[in-house]
Structure 1
Amino acid sequence: MRVLMLSWEYPPVVVGGLGRHVHALAEQLAAQGHEVTLLCRQPTGTDASTHPTEVDSRAGVRVVRVAEDPAHLSFERDLVAWTLAMGHAMIRAGLALLRERRPDVVHAHDWLVAHPAIALAEAAEVPLIATLHATEAGRHSGWLSQPLNQQIHSIEWWLAHRADRLITCSAAMRQEAAQLFDVEPADVAVLHNGISPSPWRVSPAKVAHARTSVQPKDAPLLLFFGRIEWEKGAQDAVAALPAIRRSHPGAVLAIAGQGGYQERLVEEARRHRVRRAVRLTGQLSDEELAALLAAADVVVLPSRYEPFGIVALEAAAAGAPLVASTAGGLGEVVLDGETGLSFTPGDVAGLTSGVRRVLADPASAARRASAARDRLSTDFAWPAIAAATADVYAAALDHEQARRRTAAPTAAVDGWPACRGAELSRPKIPSGNLLSG
């Protein structure tokens, strides 16, 4: 099949797990014989004169990186306007692609590419597939208290209803999407994120160097990695650190990543009087991160909200013992007592207990880590995930062809063909918690 995929992040522009997912999926689909074109963006803040739209091919994937529109828009300050500007650039580049060759399906990854994906799918008259990687309500514990939150939710709702097929990365996300967007759970395909384990294995020398760089003492090294935002729960790891250090003196918590919650996190470390025991490493390269993961005595993933938890796969690939919350997809990735230890999101005492269990019995922790790594080749292998994604494409194509055979011809208006997209009502946004009860 010919696939036109849209994503707001794709290497080297990677913000989080979505970029890694799209990159691996696109390359694996190409490896399986599909013709994949990936429409993405140039780095934020670049100028179109120095970073014009470019086309190249990597691992069989044709990558089209669009230049930013000249308007001075900031992702942090003007999110919706910034997203629309990116969408305009993608539509212009996408229409040029359609003139060359029509895809069989258009695949949108998350709400930030909803506008261009819907426009291009309708222009090409092909099925639209949408993967929901997270939701705005989920990121804010069910509350949509600000106009920006409500705007994002409404775009997510539109994408969920306009798509011919929906995909989520976990069963937990499927239930969340069904509740938030009033779609049937049976109509949503659950396809886990995957991982290629080999890049996460590094030499012992690099592991030793990574450890001494953040923990020079002969004492435990705890590691949190990911975006530093409230919903990722790093503050709970900081809150647990004083009790952990009482039973394991000298223990250090390394925090790898960046995010808007970093200043607050430093304040939390000072409030708990563990600032000197918290090491902020900043954003690490994949190789640096793999070495630090392998060096850690325990990796802590205390997410309050987690649609899937690709970080758990990366930790497992590096052979690190896991202590993770049961938030969303993490409860499906980390099997308590089998591939790691689990605790209820926000339960600092449970987090503390899990870390202490790992440190007190490293042999059992190593067995769980080995089981987690073994599971990667069965439940989270990219070839199987890509094949299942292609099955979703094929089902959407079959349904579209059947619809065309039975549908009456649509009339043109003033020479313009009738639009294939259905009219959709606006979502109702209640004032309470959308994810409660």
Structure 2
Amino acid sequence: MRRRIAMISTHGYVAAQPPLGAPDTGGQVVFVIELSKQLARLGYKVDIWTRRFDNQPETEMVDENVTILRVPCGSNEFIPKEQLYKNIPEWVENALRLIKKQNLSYYFINSHYWDAGLAGQSLSNALNIPHLHTPHSLGSWKKSQMEDAAPEDTEKLEDQFNFTARVRHEQRLFQECDMVIATTPPQSDLIASDYGVAPAKIRMIPPGYDDNRFFPVSEASRQGIRTEMNYHGPVIASIGRLARNKGFDLLIRAFAIVATRIPEAKLRLAVSMQSSDPGDSRMLEELQELVVEHNLQNKVLITDSLPDEQMADYYRAADVFALSSRYEPFGMTAIEALASGTPTVVTTRGGLYRALDFGVHALYTDTEDIEEFGICLLQALKYQRLRNRISQQGSLRVRALFAWSGIAQQLLRAVEDRLHTGVDAAETPDVSSIWRQSVDI
């Protein structure tokens, strides 16, 4: 009989085919769905617990061994992740009733982001089962990054993102859960330094990608994809939720530098048509105004989010992919682009670049430095030999470090080592040791 695992991700539109780009629905949802499917392939049944709203069905099958269970709390309306923690006690009560009604028993809980972490810890306490928490991002880090970028908006940012409450809840959560799963070495360091978590309680396990979907194709196939997508000339692409931290405004400004030197270059942005962050309702208009300000109307195309099945070809068709975030705990889209063989420029305001050698696997830049960002994009477009090298080596790099099969195995090993044999997380080698050895950190 298969053991059962509870994954908890309470915010956003968690679904078998998630509407990526919808509010609070992006890389984390993909992470949870893909990790769950891989755990099922390794012999487990997985229940993905989330919040029910917008008249969604109570249950949804991802596959025969992965089920989404939706539990209501608050209202039937969408609640932003910055506010959802207030409704988590109600969610936990309703989840516990369903667990007892269906007589469900779990091997362990893995929660994702701090709202789900609060739910996971409450369920862990009530059911006396292990709880591993994956924060994805940290309140202390996000607060410092955003306040550094806009010191005049400190009060506004506090109202919008509830940093004080978030950090307080994270502090307690990290101390109470059985293990904290960091997704990058810098995040692991911050969990220890900012929150006082013992290093032995932290395991570094990165997100993964589906290597059955994201892989390089021949140049002939790539050109066929470009023809289907009506691409002409050099193309820089990016994709993500319409959120200020994604830095699409920085990318447009940087692209203006590229356009002065390579007039035939184009920039394609696939974003949602509605901001996922409260208070950023004018973001799309701001991007469109930037395009006009820099006279790029015939060079920049902003479209809605893509269906998931089109993502791999979207990456492959581009000559360069840009991860432009102001801060980014990891950068799933960059991993998928690299895996697809697309030369990629990533931000240094996050952890991913430290797993990549500059000029070998990718290029990286401080995206807040517009001139540096623009020059980096320009170099990636201008030099064919550089593009060829980072296309080949970048794909090999992410396949070695970030395929989902290995990520799921690391999570299971963390559970077994830490919770059943008393081995400290820091004592067991995993992909983080490869990552740390390969870069200067």
* Range of TM-score over shorter length: 0.7 to 0.9
**Aligned match of 1:411:** none
Shift of residue 22, structure 1, vs aligned partner: 1.0
- Does the 8 Å contact 1:52/1:67 carry over to 2? no
The amino acid that maps onto 2:261 is S
Shift in alpha-carbon separation, 1:90–1:277, aligned structure 2, 3 A: farther
Q: Counterpart of 1:6? A: 8
User: Is 2:47 the partner of 1:29?
Assistant: no
Which whole-Å CA distance do the structure 2 matches of 1:95 and 1:119 have between them?
Answer: 13
The partner residue of 1:97 within 88, 96, 99 is: 99
When residues 228 and 117 of structure 1 are mapped into structure 2, their CA distance, relative to the original with a 3 A threshold, is same
Matched-pair contact (CA < 8 Å) for 2:16–2:33:
yes
CA separation in 2, counterparts of 1:340 and 1:39? 36
Pairing 1:223-238 to 2, within 5 Å after superposition: 223-238=237-252
For 1:135-150, what aligned pairs fall within 5 Å after superposition? 135-142=138-145, 143=147, 145=155, 146-147=158-159, 148-150=162-164
Matched-pair contact (CA < 8 Å) for 2:359–2:386: no
Q: 2:340 matched to which residue of 1?
A: 318
Judge conservation of contact 2:16–2:60 (CA < 8 Å) in 1. Answer: no
TM-score, normalisation: structure 2: 0.80
Offset, 1:40: 2.0
Structure 2: unaligned runs, 5 residues or longer: 148-153, 424-441
- Aligned with 1:172 (options 186, 189, 194): 186
Whole-angstrom CA distance in 1 between matches of 2:62 and 2:243: 34
Q: What's the offset of the Cα at 1:190?
A: 0.6
Deviation at 1:327, TM superposition (A): 1.9
Match of 1:66 in 2: 70
The Cα offsets for residues 233-254 of structure 1, whole Å up to 9 and x where unpaired, read as 2222111122211110122111
Alignment deviations for residues 330-373 of structure 1 (CA, whole Å, 9 cap, x no partner): 21343211111111241222222222222221232122111111
Cα deviation, residue 87, structure 1? 5.7
Cα deviations by residue, 1:262-287 (Å, 9 ceiling, x for unpaired) = 23222332333324422111110123
SS where residue 11 of structure 1 aligns? coil
Q: Percent identity?
A: 23
3-state SS of the aligned residue for 1:198? coil
**C-alpha separation in 2, matches of 1:178 and 1:161:** 11
Aligned length: 390
- Aligned AA (2:372): G
In structure 1, C-alpha distance between the alignment counterparts of 2:308 and 2:234, rounded to whole Å = 23
Deviation at 1:141, TM superposition (A): 3.2
Cα displacement (A) at 1:326: 1.6
Matches of residues 308-387 of structure 1 in structure 2 within 5 Å?
308-387=330-409
Residue 186 (structure 1) shift: 4.2
Pair 1:205–1:361, CA change in 2 (3 A): closer
Q: Report the Cα distance in structure 2 between the residues aligned to 1:360 and 1:55, rounded to whole angstroms.
A: 47
* Residues 1:200 and 1:206: Cα distance change in structure 2 (over 3 Å): farther
Is 1:120 the counterpart of 2:123? The answer is yes
Pair 1:210–1:287, CA change in 2 (3 A)? farther
Question: 2:150 maps to what in 1?
Answer: none
Q: Tell me the alpha carbon deviations over residues 378-403 of structure 1, each in whole angstroms, 9 at most, x when there is no partner.
A: 211212211110122123432799xx
- Are the counterparts in 2 of residues 200 and 287 from structure 1 also a CA contact under 8 Å? no
Alignment check: 8 A CA contact 1:127 1:400 kept: no
Counterpart of 1:184 in structure 2 is 198
Letter in 2 for 1:343: T
**1:245 partnered with 2:259:** yes
CA distance in 1, matches of 2:379, 2:57: 53
Where 2:72 maps in the other structure, the secondary structure is coil
Q: Distance in 1 between matches of 2:350 and 2:320?
A: 21
2:428 — aligned with what? Answer: none
Q: Is the 8 A contact 1:40 1:90 kept in 2?
A: no
Question: How much does 1:94 deviate?
Answer: 3.9
Q: Contact 2:72 / 2:94 at 8 angstroms: preserved in 1?
A: no
- Where in structure 2 are the equivalents of 1:195-210 lying within 5 Å? 195-200=209-214, 204=222, 207-209=225-227
Cα distance in 2, alignment partners of residues 95 and 356 from structure 1? 57
1:195–1:382 Cα contact (<8 Å) kept? yes
Query: Quick one: structure 1 residues 59 and 316, their matched pair in 2 at CA, closer, same or farther if it must change by over 3 Å?
Result: farther
Flag the 1:384–1:153 CA change in 2: closer, same or farther, 3 A: same
- Per the normalisation by structure 1, the TM-score is 0.81
Question: Shift of residue 323 of structure 1?
Answer: 1.4
Deviations 1:123-158 (A, max 9, x none): 111121100101233334344742522222222222
Kindly tell me: are residues 324 and 318 of structure 1, through their superposed partners in 2, closer, same or farther at Cα, counting changes over 3 Å?
Answer: same
Distance 1:265 1:176 in 2: 32
Deviation at 1:162, TM superposition (A): 1.7
Flag the 1:116–1:28 CA change in 2: closer, same or farther, 3 A. Answer: same
- Aligned match of 1:39: 49
Partner SS state of residue 172, structure 1? helix
Q: Which has the larger radius of gyration?
A: 1
CA–CA distance in structure 1, aligned partners of residues 165 and 328 of structure 2: 21
**1:410 aligned partner:** none
| Structure 1 stretches of 4+ moved >6 Å | none
Q: Report if aligned partners of 2:365, 2:376 keep a CA contact under 8 Å in 1.
A: yes
| SS of alignment partner, residue 144 of structure 2 | coil
Q: Name the SS of the counterpart of 1:141 in structure 2.
A: helix
| Alpha carbons of structure 1 residues 90 and 182: separation in structure 2 relative to 1, 3 Å | same
